[in-house]
Amino acid sequence: MSADDLNLRSGASNRDGLIHPEVAKANDESERGQDGQRLTHAEGASRPISAAPKAAREPQPRGAKIRGDRPIDQAEAAERFLAAPLHQKAHDERLWDVRKKRDVATHGIPEWEELRELASAIKAHTLSRLDEYLEQFEAQAKANGVHVHWAADGAEHNRLVHRLLKDHGARSLIKSKSMLTEECGFRHYMAGTGIEVIETDLGERIQQLDDEEPSHVVMPAVHKTRLDVAEVFAKTMGTDPENDDAHYLAESQRMHTRPLILEADAGLTGCNFAVAETGTVVTCTNEGNADLSGNVPRLQIHSIGIEKLIPRTEHLGVFIRLLSRSALGSPITQYTSHFRKPRPGTEMHMVLVDNGRSERLGMEEFWTSLKCIRCGACMNTCPVYRRSGGLSYGATYSGPIGLIIDPTFNKRKYSTLPFSSTMNGSCTNVCPVKINIHEQIFAWRKVLAEEHQIPLLKQGMMKAAGQVLSRPAAYRAAIGAADSALRHLPRFAVYNPLNTWGKGREMPETPRQSFHAWYRQNRMGKGTGQ
């Protein structure tokens, strides 16, 4: 008999996979298809999930407290997120649902694991010759009539785009979602310039109007409930504060944003892939907002992280198949757009941004994090992320990929993040480009400890533990000296003078004797056992 023969209770499917039944929403508002079937494409949930009945209004928990360069206290912010159970449960259930949709989509493709290998190898190759591919991309883009700019860091990117806008007399800029511009702090920079910046992705727009960073690379407002959105829109767009219907809210945003799109003098998009052989910028969106940004205003700008390069168009046949399936469980995004040449009578600019990437390339243990295609699969599967909310990380990149990228931007500020993980490894397994995320988290902990970027208390406890555990007599004394020591968990077991174990859990019972004592008593014929 093997595991396959075991009669597994079919309970899980009957329960619809919910582990928080209280967030199951009774009525279903999602779109139906031509044959009346319920649709789950794009980031649509596979069953109705809702945070709360109106009566149980719960204020939205906010993210980590930012205090200059001081280390982010992710645990503190996570605890506040957990203290808002309606938000937390809906967030957890929603992202787990996306993870499950991803499993279904990927398990339907026999060559899935081979595609991941290929994508990883193509990225490794490209990164190993990034200078050549960048030069090829630049030459192609220029030949296509595109203006190409280079920015060493976020500040230069912002100044450069600002100057472009000013030179064109632009008063407003519409943009699609771009993690790169988030990383550069572009919106904050532009706030002081008198040029209006309008986000056109619904989730990103919600976050902009709420003056909050995106909490997820693909679903920027996934931590918010419809009630939170209704509140933000009522305040900023004058919608009915009592109407929290998702269709009403989305439609209101469409009507509100459309004139801004039509009036904009410039449009900016990020970049999912930059094809070296053709000089093409590829964007993947569900709303079509990158295409509006690129096709409506007269000035068109694409901000590109230099790690987005891939050698040839045929490689899109690998990456496009991986991206949306990993991100959302959808075979492709609604729009996969390839921008190559300016429209007649308009200008097209591309900004190649380094901002620490070339330096990261030289970090032996961490350079492969540059393979990331920002699908967010590692966030969706991360059990810590789902229970903490993306804003608890206090950084542009949250979740597992954030833990290994953020310290490259600021080692002190993000020194705590690699510890906000159980290193369970699920992130590594879902990564479409096979970044060994959990191993890099482990490696970062070592780097941070060696450079004394972890709290003295923690390092001191580990030193003490190491001393006890390396000396059998001291170890025996620590666990065997007195029953009372065992009752309060010996230090070697939890290394923690504050007893945080007992805050959320019961203590383990203390056995009458340790294994060691039992062995001495029963197998060595001497001693009494302690």
Partner 1 sequence: MSSRAATLEAIRKNRPSGEYALPEVPVFAPLVGEDLVAEFGERLKRMGGRIAEPGSADPFEAVRERLKASKIVASAVPEIEGNRDLSQVAQPQDLADVDVAVVRAVFGVAETGSVLFTQDELRVNAVAYLAQHLIVLLDPADILVNIQAAYRRPEFGRAAYAVLHTGPSATADIEGVLIHGAQGVRSLTVLLMPRGAH
Partner 2 sequence: MRVGLFVPCYVDAFEPEVGIATLELLERLGLDVEYPFDQTCCGQPMTNTGCHAEAAATEALFVKNFTGFDYIVAPSGSCVHQVREHLTAIPQTPEVKAVRERTFELVEFLHDVLKVEEFPWAAFPHKVGYHSNCNALRGIGHARPSELNRPFFSKPLDLLAKVKGIELVEIARPDECCGFGGTFSVFEPAVSAKMGYDKVADHARAGADYVVSADSSCLMHQKGCAERLGVPLKFIHIARILNGAAA
* Residue 342 or 418 having the CB closest to partner 2: 418
Whose tokens are 């504060």? That residue is 241
Does position 288 interact with partner 1 (CB under 8 A)? The reply is yes
Does position 440 interact with partner 1 (CB under 8 A)? The reply is no
In the window 179-218, what residues touch partner 2 (CB under 8 A)?
Answer: none
Whose tokens are 């619904």? That residue is 202
Strand partners, 179: none
In the window 353-382, what residues touch partner 2 (CB under 8 A)?
Answer: 381
In the window 489-528, what residues touch partner 1 (CB under 8 A)?
Answer: none
CA atoms of 27 and 260, how far apart (whole Å): 34
Q: For 276-289, give one letter per residue: b (16+ CB within 10 A) or e.
A: bebbbbbbbbbbeb
In the window 74-113, what residues touch partner 1 (CB under 8 A)?
Answer: 90, 94, 97, 108-111
**495 contacts which partner out of partner 1, partner 2, none, CB within 5 to 8 A by kind?**
partner 2
CA atoms of 222 and 40, how far apart (whole Å): 16
List the x/- string, 19-48, binding to partner 2 by CB under 8 A: xx----------------------------
In the window 471-530, what residues touch partner 2 (CB under 8 A)?
Answer: 471-472, 475, 479, 486, 490, 492-496, 500-501, 503-511, 513-520, 523
**12 contacts which partner out of partner 2, partner 1, none, CB within 5 to 8 A by kind?**
partner 2
Q: Which of 10, 34, 37, 528 binds partner 2 (CB under 8 A)?
A: 10
* Residue 267 or 394 having the CB closest to partner 1: 267
List the x/- string, 116-155, binding to partner 1 by CB under 8 A: -xx--xx-xx-xxxxx--xx--------x-----xxx---
* Residue 307 or 406 having the CB closest to partner 2: 406
Binding span for partner 2 by CB under 8 A among 18-26, 173-181, 283-291, 343-351: 18-26
In the window 435-474, what residues touch partner 2 (CB under 8 A)?
Answer: 442, 444-450, 454, 458-459, 462-463, 465-467, 469-472
CB of 242 to partner 2, least distance (A): 32
- Does residue 521 sit in helix, strand or coil? helix
CB of 359 to partner 1, least distance (A): 6
CA atoms of 442 and 444, how far apart (whole Å): 5
Residue partners of 132: CB distance under 8 A and separation at least 6 = none
Does position 406 interact with partner 2 (CB under 8 A)? The reply is no
Note whether 374 and 180 are within 8 A (CB).
no
**330 contacts which partner out of partner 2, partner 1, none, CB within 5 to 8 A by kind?**
partner 1
CB of 213 to partner 2, least distance (A): 20
Tokens of 472: 């059998």
* Residue 398 or 420 having the CB closest to partner 1: 398
CB of 305 to partner 2, least distance (A): 26
Size of the site for partner 1 (CB under 8 A): 113
Residue partners of 28: CB distance under 8 A and separation at least 6 = 38, 47, 48
**515 contacts which partner out of partner 1, partner 2, none, CB within 5 to 8 A by kind?**
partner 2
Tell which residue, 132, 146, 134, has the closest CA to residue 275.
134
* Residue 76 or 359 having the CB closest to partner 1: 359
* Residue 103 or 263 having the CB closest to partner 2: 103
List the x/- string, 34-73, binding to partner 1 by CB under 8 A: xx-x-xxxxxxx--xxxx----------------------
* C-alpha atoms less than 13 angstroms from C-alpha of 52 in its C-beta half-sphere: 21
Radius of gyration of the chain (CA): 26
CB of 147 to partner 2, least distance (A): 43
Does position 215 interact with partner 1 (CB under 8 A)? The reply is no
CB of 95 to partner 2, least distance (A): 12
Does position 313 interact with partner 1 (CB under 8 A)? The reply is yes
Tokens of 462: 């580990």
Query: Strands 309-310 and 273-275: what pairing?
Result: parallel
CA atoms of 376 and 493, how far apart (whole Å): 35
Note whether 349 and 149 are within 8 A (CB).
yes
Binding span for partner 2 by CB under 8 A among 109-117, 132-140, 180-188, 335-343: 109-117
Tell me the three-class secondary structure of 185-214, residue by residue: CHHHHHCCCCCEEEECCHHHHHHHHCCCCC
H or E stretch at 127: helix 112-128
Size of the site for partner 2 (CB under 8 A): 98
Tell me the three-class secondary structure of 382-443, residue by residue: CHHHHHHCHHHHCCCCCHHHHHHHHHHHCCCCCCCHHHCCCCCCHHHHHCCCCCCHHHHHHH
* Residue 283 or 420 having the CB closest to partner 1: 283
Does position 411 interact with partner 2 (CB under 8 A)? The reply is no
Q: Which of 221, 372, 437, 448 binds partner 1 (CB under 8 A)?
A: 221
Q: Which of 411, 412, 419, 488 binds partner 2 (CB under 8 A)?
A: 419
Dihedral pair phi/psi, residue 339, rounded to 5°: -100, 125
Dihedral pair phi/psi, residue 66, rounded to 5°: -95, 120
Q: Which of 92, 183, 287, 406 binds partner 1 (CB under 8 A)?
A: 287
Q: Which of 146, 282, 379, 384 binds partner 2 (CB under 8 A)?
A: 384
DSSP string, 56-112: G--PPPP-PPP-TTSPP-HHHHHHHHHTSHHHHHHHHHHHHHHHHHHHHHHHT-TTH
CA atoms of 399 and 416, how far apart (whole Å): 13
* Residue 198 or 517 having the CB closest to partner 1: 198
